[in-house]
Every structure is written in structure tokens, then in C-alpha cells.
Amino acid sequence: MKTVSARLWNRLSSINLTVALCLLLTMDLVWGYFCLNRRTALFTPLNDLGLIPWAQTYGSHNLLATGWFFLLLTLLALLAVNTFACTTSRVAQLLRAKGPGGWQRLALRLAPHVMHYGLIVILAGYLCSYLFTQVLTSSTLAPGSHLSLPGAGGQVQLLAVEPEYYQGERLAFWKNEVIALRARLLLSDNTGQREAFLSCNRPVRFQGYSLHLIDFAPKSLNGMKMKTRIDLHVRKDPGVALYLAGMALFSLGLILYFYQWIVHREAHR
Amino acid sequence: MSMITSHTAFQFAAVLYALALAAALAPGKRSLPVNLPLAAAIGCNLLAVGLRCHQAWPMLPMHLGPVALPLCLGLFYPLAARNCEPSLRRPTQRILLAVVVLLTALALCFPKDFYLPFLKSKTLLAHGFLWFGVVGKACFILSAAWAANALLPRQSSHAISAMGRSHRWAALGFSLWTASMFSGELWSYLGWGTPVVWEDPALTLTMAAWFFYGCLLHLHLTRSWSQTHRALYASLGGLVMLTLTCLPDLGPFRIPFGL
């Protein structure tokens, strides 16, 4: 029994498997480019629906165009398992054979493995995000109107929209268009009220939800007069912290790896 | 008052890059006939990129990649073959110039610079996504050029040296490509609430290139393939992969020097 599990572990931690998976992923993603390019509308709901409902509807009914995506998920799952097995084996070897140089040297030697673990955390974060995210799409707010957050007892009210119109000469196509927009929100729950400012790349976090500004009106000082409104995406995404942590871990590994590379090069001069 | 446009500056750059390539391919060992038009071409290309960034700042100029990539490669030209013998250096520099000329021709024949910048690109993350990606891709091209050099028939020590350089450029490119992907994911999360926006097909090619070079680095580190196979993978495979990553930035055909 032990030999079977050891053999399976060895197979799973094979670097040849990594190479094969990376090649298959590359080819699958190139295939995916052409499918996504031709049938973009099929994949757009994936942002809001989540993985399972999307797979049961758009995904399973258009397998010719979405097959690459299911293959991608399978290959990524295999890559995560292979990366975990391979990295864990190497880390165990490194920890057993502590060479000269102490902990600092060991930390530098662990750099590539930190990157590998970072990748696994990122993939886990994405999976978590696509499986468990709650999305309220197209929540439109006009000044004075409010939005209730489901299950949280919180309310978001739009107090005012503060647009900044471009008045310079350099961006001719942008003259009198909104160049920056700030939406003043009132966030209230059982504990009290507070004001927050929402803009294009600055979401507001409230009661576990993140509020993202997707669109707004009016966009121009001239032209057709439209009522003032903002369109929001409201999301509760439990995977964010995980994939951000994964990115931080991967970046740390990368920095350590380059530091080790430079130190190694200097030592050999 | 007539002023030079970004497109005109890039047209000048294309002609000068072609002159530098012609001089590099001509027999003789003098470097001035290559370096002079190359320096002028880099100047024109810098002007073209600078004008497009100036016209869009603080937003991101759309589809700048094909115009900015030759500039990066031109700037890398002196660094690409530092501290190595002329017999090893020249083939790489010739390949590099040939790629630059090919890229400028593609950018002139299939421009996609008619899209206006959009408001959500007004963030440093968007600029990081673009520039890390462009410099990363330039490193990948250098890696492919060195790998192609390693395939030329000559002493094995030269091939080993060329493959070592190919590996270093691939590693640097991979790090920058990763930084570009992370910047893009963070930007996407802040702007749209999700790290991957499935409206943009280009993201699949970005990921494909990441896995392709991840695989190359594993092959280099483990030596599980022979050197010739690795060189073929890095040069021919790299060329195919990089051509594919340029596809989303190319538009419909235009006469390159039309009025």
C-alpha cells in the first residue's frame, strides 16, 4: 500500500508532468483565444453568474466554443496538484539537508518554492471566487435613492455625484467630457452611518461587499441631457483575500529568487 | 502650423530601422553604419511613443504595444550582446534587427491606434500592465534570438554560452510578464470587481505566453530536454507564441506609407 501511494506521489510530483501540463495549457489557451474572440458573449456572464450556473447553462450548451474552458479547468487542477506534490518533495529535501549558510541561505533556496506555493494559493483564490461570489449586477442609483445589501442589513445611499470635466486643450477628444468622477455615498447599518467616496478604480468596501463603479451618466457637459445616475457592481467575493495573498507570496518568491541570482553572480565574479 | 504626428515619426523610424538592418547584413565589420541609423530610428520611435502617451495621459493609449515593442528592442540592442565575442554577438544582433523591422512593418500595415483611451485606464496599474508587458515581451524576443543563435553550426562552447543568455533573458521576461499580469489583475479587480474580465480574448494569449515561458524555465533548470531541443523550443516556439500575443494589437490592413 505504501509503495503504491509512494509511486503515485512520485508520478504526481514529476517535473515531466509539469512540462507536459504547461505545454497543454499553452495550446489550450491559444485555442481559447480563437473561441473567445468569436463568441465573446458566451463568456461575459461568467463574470457575474459564477462557475457552476455558467457551466450548467452557457457552458454545457455550447461545448464546441466552451470545451477549451473545461479543459483549462482540468489542466489547472492537475497543475495545482503536480505543483503541490513537486514543491513539497523539494522543500522536504531542502529542509532535511540543511547545508552551510544557515537560515538566510535556506530562505533564498526556498525562493522558487515560495513562488510555486504562491501559484497554488492564486489558483485556489480564483476557484473560491468563481464558486462562491455573490453578485448584484446593474444596481443603479440616482441621487437620493438607496440600495439594500442582501443579508447584511446595510443600506447604500447616493448623496451626490461630483464630476470633473476636462477643460484643457491637449486631449481634444475629451473636451467637456467627464475626466474624473466621485460618487459620495452614505453607508448605514445597525452600528451607524458613514460617508464614503466611490470612483472608477476605487471601490468601496462595506459589510463584506465591494461596490464597483461600472458606468455613470451624464458623461458630457454638452450633448444629450441625461438624468444623473451611477451603475454599480456589488460583489461579495471570498476569494479576493486568497488570490491577493497568492500574488504577494509569488512576488516575494520572485524578489528572493532575483536577490539570490544577483548574490550568486557576484560570488562567481 | 503643421506638426509631426506620431504616425509620421513611426514611419521615419521604420525606414531607419530597415536601413540599420541593411547595414548590419552587409559585409564588413564597422559598427557606425548600423549604429547611426539605429540611434536615429530609436529617437523617432521614442517620439512616436512619447506623442501617443502625451495625447492620452493620464489615460492609457490604446494598442500601443506594436509601436512600443520595437523601441524597447532598439534600446536593448546594445545590452543584448554585451561582453561577448563578435562572432557570437553579430547573429543575435542581426536577428534582433530583423524582428524590429518585421514588427514595425506589422504595426504600420495593421495599425489599431484609432481607439480612444477610456476613463478606467486612468490608473498606474494600467500603465504598469502595459509597460511591464512590453518590456517582458522584448526580453522574450531576445531570449528567442539567442536560442536561434545557439542553433547555428559552430563550437559547442558558443552554443552553451548562447543558451545561457537565452535563459537569462527568458527569466527576466517571465518576471516582467508576471508583474504585468499581476498589475492587470489588480486593475481588473479594482475597476470591474473581478481579476479576470472575460470580455477580452487577449487575456488567454497572455496566460498562454506565461505557461509557455514557465515551461521553458523548467526545461532550462531541469535540463530534461537536449540543448538543441530547448533551443528549438525557445526560438521557433517563442516566435510563434510572440506572434500570437501581437495579434490582439493588430487592426485592419492599411497602406503603410499612404497619404
Residue A189 φ/ψ, nearest 5 degrees = -145, -165
DSSP reduced 3-state for A212: strand
Structure confidence by residue, pLDDT tens digits, A49-66: 889 999 999 999 999 999
Q: Note whether B192 contacts A214, CB cutoff 8 Å.
A: yes
Residues in chain B with CB shorter than 8 Å from the CB of A233 are: 192-193
Q: What is the mean pLDDT of the segment spanning B104-131?
A: 91
Find residue A185's DSSP bridge partners: A158, A196
> Does the residue B257 lie in any domain?
no
Nearest C-alpha in A relative to B171: A258
The number of beta carbons lying within 10 Å of the beta carbon of residue A113 is: 17
Residues in chain A with CB shorter than 8 Å from the CB of B182 are: 247, 250-251
CA B231/CA A258 separation, integer angstroms:
23
Q: Note whether A33 contacts B204, CB cutoff 8 Å.
A: yes
Residues in chain A with CB shorter than 8 Å from the CB of B192 are: 47, 212, 214, 233
Nearest C-alpha in B relative to A170: B55
Residue of A162, A149, A165, A169 whose CA lies nearest to A236: A149
What pLDDT is attached to residue B132?
97
What is the interface size between A and B, counted as CB pairs within 8 Å? 120
Nearest C-alpha in B relative to A181: B119
Q: What is the mean pLDDT of the segment spanning B60-64?
A: 91
CA B181/CA B170 separation, integer angstroms:
16
Confidence band for B1, pLDDT divided at 50, 70 and 90: very low
Cα R_g (chain A), whole angstroms: 25
C-alpha cell recorded at residue B93:
544582433
Please give the mean pLDDT across all residues of chain B. 91
Work out the burial of residue A61: count CB atoms within 10 Å of its CB; fewer than 13 is exposed, 13-18 middle, 19 or more buried.
exposed
Question: Taking a C-beta distance cutoff of 8 angstroms, is the pair B113, B36 a contact?
Answer: no
Q: Which residue has the higher pLDDT, B32 or A28?
A: A28
Which of A16, A30, A235 is the closest to B224 by Cβ? A16
In this predicted complex, what is the ipTM?
0.92
Say what percent of chain B tops pLDDT 70.
Answer: 98
Between strands A146-149 and A154-165, the pairing is antiparallel
Structure confidence by residue, pLDDT tens digits, A161-182: 999 998 888 888 888 889 999 9
Cis ω for the linkage preceding A218 (within 30 of 0)? yes
Q: How far is CA A223 from the centre of its chain?
A: 37
Q: Does the pLDDT at position A159 exceed 70?
A: yes
CA A231/CA A219 separation, integer angstroms:
13
Q: What is the mean pLDDT of the segment spanning A118-131?
A: 95
The number of beta carbons lying within 10 Å of the beta carbon of residue B90 is: 17
> Does the residue B255 lie in any domain?
no
> Does the residue B141 lie in any domain?
yes
Q: Note whether A26 contacts B125, CB cutoff 8 Å.
A: no
Residue of A95, A218, A206 whose CA lies nearest to A151: A206
Q: What is the mean pLDDT of the segment spanning B16-23?
A: 96
Between strands A134-141 and A192-198, the pairing is unpaired
> Does the residue B62 lie in any domain?
yes
Say what percent of chain B tops pLDDT 90.
Answer: 64
| C-alpha distance from B199 to closest chain A C-alpha (Å) | 6
What pLDDT is attached to residue A47?
85
Which of B125, B182, B209 is the closest to A251 by Cβ? B182
Residues in chain B with CB shorter than 8 Å from the CB of A180 are: 122
Residues in chain B with CB shorter than 8 Å from the CB of A16 are: 224
Q: Does the pLDDT at position B259 exceed 70?
A: no
What pLDDT is attached to residue B3?
67
First to last CA, chain A: 51
Question: For A99, how many CA atoms within 13 A lie in the half-sphere containing its CB?
Answer: 8
Which of A25, A37, A200 is the closest to B201 by Cβ? A37
Residue B220 φ/ψ, nearest 5 degrees = -65, -45
Q: Does the pLDDT at position A142 exceed 80?
A: yes
Q: Hunting for cell 489588480 — which residue is that? A: B186
Nearest C-alpha in A relative to B208: A26
- Residues A55/A60/A63/A67 CA torsion (nearest 10 deg): 30
Long-range contacts of the stretch B220-227 (C-beta < 8 A, 24+) = B220/B163, B220/B167, B220/B170, B222/A15, B224/A15, B224/A16, B224/A19, B227/B150, B227/B159, B227/B160, B227/B163
Residue of A153, A156, A152, A162 whose CA lies nearest to A141: A156
> Does the residue B208 lie in any domain?
yes
Domain range spanning residue B49? 6-249
Work out the burial of residue A172: count CB atoms within 10 Å of its CB; fewer than 13 is exposed, 13-18 middle, 19 or more buried.
exposed
> Does the residue B163 lie in any domain?
yes
Confidence band for B147, pLDDT divided at 50, 70 and 90: very high
Say what percent of chain A tops pLDDT 70.
Answer: 95
Inter-helix orientation angle B124-150/B238-246, to 10°: 150
Q: What is the mean pLDDT of the segment spanning B169-173?
A: 94
Please give the mean pLDDT across all residues of chain A. 90
Residues in chain A with CB shorter than 8 Å from the CB of B218 are: 15, 18-19, 22
Tell me how many domains chain B contains. Answer: 1
Which of B178, B197, B211 is the closest to A26 by Cβ? B211
What pLDDT is attached to residue B156?
76
Q: Note whether A200 contacts B119, CB cutoff 8 Å.
A: yes
Say what percent of chain A tops pLDDT 90.
Answer: 62
Confidence band for B242, pLDDT divided at 50, 70 and 90: confident
> Does the residue B259 lie in any domain?
no
| C-alpha distance from B29 to closest chain A C-alpha (Å) | 30
| C-alpha distance from A56 to closest chain B C-alpha (Å) | 17
Q: What is the mean pLDDT of the segment spanning B194-207?
A: 90
Amino acid at B147: A
Confidence band for A99, pLDDT divided at 50, 70 and 90: low
Q: Does the pLDDT at position A150 exceed 90?
A: no
- Residues B115/B117/B120/B123 CA torsion (nearest 10 deg): 140
Q: What is the mean pLDDT of the segment spanning B39-61?
A: 94
| C-alpha distance from A227 to closest chain B C-alpha (Å) | 20
Residue of A266, A217, A249, A269 whose CA lies nearest to A123: A249
Residue A170 φ/ψ, nearest 5 degrees = -65, -45
| C-alpha distance from A1 to closest chain B C-alpha (Å) | 30
